[in-house]
Amino acid sequence: MSFSLAKTPLHAWHRDRGARMADFANYEMPIQYAGIVSEHVATRTAAGVFDISHMGRLRFDGPRADQLLDHLLTRRVLDMQTGQVRYSLICNEEGGILDDVLVSCLESPSGKNYFLLVVNASNRAKILHWLQPHLADFPDVEFHDVTDSTAMIAVQGPKAIELCKPLLPASALTLGYYRAKVTEQMNKPCVVSRTGYTGEDGLELIVKAEDALRVWENIILAGRDLGVQPVGLGARDTLRLEAGMPLYGHELDETIDPYSAGLGFACNLKDRLFVGREALEAKAKDTSLPKRVGLVVDGRRAARQGSNVIDSDARVIGQVTSGSFSPTLDQPIAMAYLDPTIAIVGNTVDIDIRGTQVSATIVSLPFYKKA
């Protein structure tokens, strides 16, 4: 028996460019090209171009698609307007997080509304399985997993919009934050949204798999004189960490609820019924739950996922979920879940970094905010 890794439509380009490739969620993905810090800085100062085709893309058509999604998502879907994008969670009945997603309400060229759900690559199979019984309850909703037939490219950074000027119609460049539309890129269909996972302004494009290489190369070419770089998953992680954004498998999993994660804004409990609502109602009032915090760590060595956070009596009071050296702050940063009595901005704690205790200060998230 052999398992081979999935490849995005841009796989050969990454390979040819000498990118370091590694398995991520069963895709062979570029981790870095020029280097994590170089790519990180390019995204913060000019723009970065990311192949995020591994993300799952699920399409729901039909007049009751909104009702199906409203039943599954913690965020209200029924009142979504055409062109709107929302960040939401999918929870189980116990209020544990199955995935964090972006849901978009789009208008197809034929004038009909449909919904697009972008899910984490690592959760796609789980969510497809989770959807099955619910899809059976809504037989009139037409469902398609369009992940393999499409590609997804993120363009992020202060020069992202300028960079896309020669490539996209003006209406795509003036989209508001968390707005999306179906448009064209050189006469080919393209979904553009003003969203991202870096803390910078930018766009995310979904194109047909067969158009991906042409679009990607056009963006890289247009950015040649702007200091634009292709960016791998390594810098994608340091960028999102600085932006204080959670990553499934680190800050989020089925044992964590949205309120602990600081994602209560993505749960609309009022006047709705959805999977997990009852459990979430109790969690919303529970003041004993651990809290997700940001930590700035003394010294140069980073606390990594799994490091214990300890108090002055050497009691373990939480765990680091993500940690890295921050290229922008030039010091190590981390996120952790801590006991709520301690999880207060300004408090200092110790982190056990491979046997050495290092002091860290709780700070408000995000670590980095664009000017």
Q: Which residues bind another protein (CB under 8 A)?
A: 32, 35-37, 234, 237-238, 299-302, 304, 324-325, 327, 332, 354
In angstroms, the CA 322 to CA 293 distance is: 11
Cβ nearer to another protein, comparing 96 with 327: 327
Cβ nearer to another protein, comparing 126 with 301: 301
Q: Whole-number minimum distance, CB 156 to another protein, in Å?
A: 18
Cβ nearer to another protein, comparing 214 with 300: 300
Cβ nearer to another protein, comparing 290 with 294: 294
Q: Whole-number minimum distance, CB 22 to another protein, in Å?
A: 11
CB under 8 Å to 158, separation ≥6 — which residues? 44, 45, 46, 47, 200, 201, 370
Q: What is the CA radius of gyration of the chain?
A: 21
User: Which segments of the chain are extended strands (E)?
Assistant: 20-24, 27-32, 48-51, 56-61, 85-91, 97-107, 113-119, 142-145, 150-156, 180-185, 188-193, 202-208, 229-231, 291-297, 308-310, 316-326, 331-338, 348-353, 356-363
Q: Whole-number minimum distance, CB 233 to another protein, in Å?
A: 10
Strand-pair category, 150-156 with 85-91: unpaired
In angstroms, the CA 273 to CA 264 distance is: 16
Cβ nearer to another protein, comparing 31 with 275: 31
Q: Any idea which residue has 């998230």 for tokens?
A: 365
Q: Whole-number minimum distance, CB 250 to another protein, in Å?
A: 14
Give the 3-state secondary structure of residue 194: coil
Query: Would you say 168 and 174 are in contact if contact means Cβ atoms under 8 Å apart?
Result: no
In angstroms, the CA 92 to CA 90 distance is: 7
Q: Any idea which residue has 């790519």 for tokens?
A: 39
Cβ nearer to another protein, comparing 259 with 368: 368
Q: Whole-number minimum distance, CB 155 to another protein, in Å?
A: 23
Cβ nearer to another protein, comparing 129 with 354: 354
Neighbouring-strand partners of residue 91: 97
Cβ nearer to another protein, comparing 329 with 344: 329
Q: Whole-number minimum distance, CB 283 to another protein, in Å?
A: 34
Q: Whole-number minimum distance, CB 262 to another protein, in Å?
A: 25
In angstroms, the CA 58 to CA 72 distance is: 14
Query: Would you say 212 and 192 are in contact if contact means Cβ atoms under 8 Å apart?
Result: no
Q: Whole-number minimum distance, CB 43 to another protein, in Å?
A: 14
